[in-house]
């Protein structure tokens, strides 16, 4: 794996972690999704998390989650990353 690839992997991971912490831009989201579909290593490592985040993100859009629940979800996602 080249240093350039590693840099992309690191950025994708950071953006995934940021996904629920803040609104990431469409461009950033596109980068993460493109990277996960192109990078076998990241796709394997983060497939579950990415799916989970997508589901949660959709739910948060349709249902206004109470702040304490949103905080719990963020905490849970951080543990999954660890
Ligand atoms: Zn990667």
How far, in Å, from the CA of 17 to the mean position of ligand 1?
Answer: 14
Q: DSSP readout, 20-69?
A: TTSPPPHHHHHHHHHHHHH-HHHHHHHHHHHHHHHHHHHHHHHS---HHH
How far, in Å, from the CA of 43 to the mean position of ligand 1?
Answer: 7
pLDDT for 20-74, tens place per residue? 566 778 888 888 888 888 888 888 777 667 677 777 777 767 766 677 777 887 7
Kindly report the pTM of this predicted structure.
Answer: 0.49
- Report d(CA 30, CA 33) in Å as an integer: 5
Whether the Cβ atoms of residue 49 and residue 57 lie closer than 8 Å to each other: no
How far, in Å, from the CA of 71 to the mean position of ligand 1?
Answer: 27
Tokens 């990353």 sit on residue = 81
């Amino acid at each position: 794996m080249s240093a350039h690839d590693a840099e992309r992997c690191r950025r994708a991971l950071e953006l995934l972690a940021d996904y629920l912490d803040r609104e990431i831009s469409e461009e950033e989201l596109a980068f993460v999704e493109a990277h996960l579909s192109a990078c076998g290593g990241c796709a394997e490592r983060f497939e579950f998390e990415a799916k989970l985040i997508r589901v949660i993100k959709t739910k948060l859009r349709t249902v206004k989650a109470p702040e304490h629940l949103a905080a719990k979800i963020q905490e849970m996602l951080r543990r999954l990353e660890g």
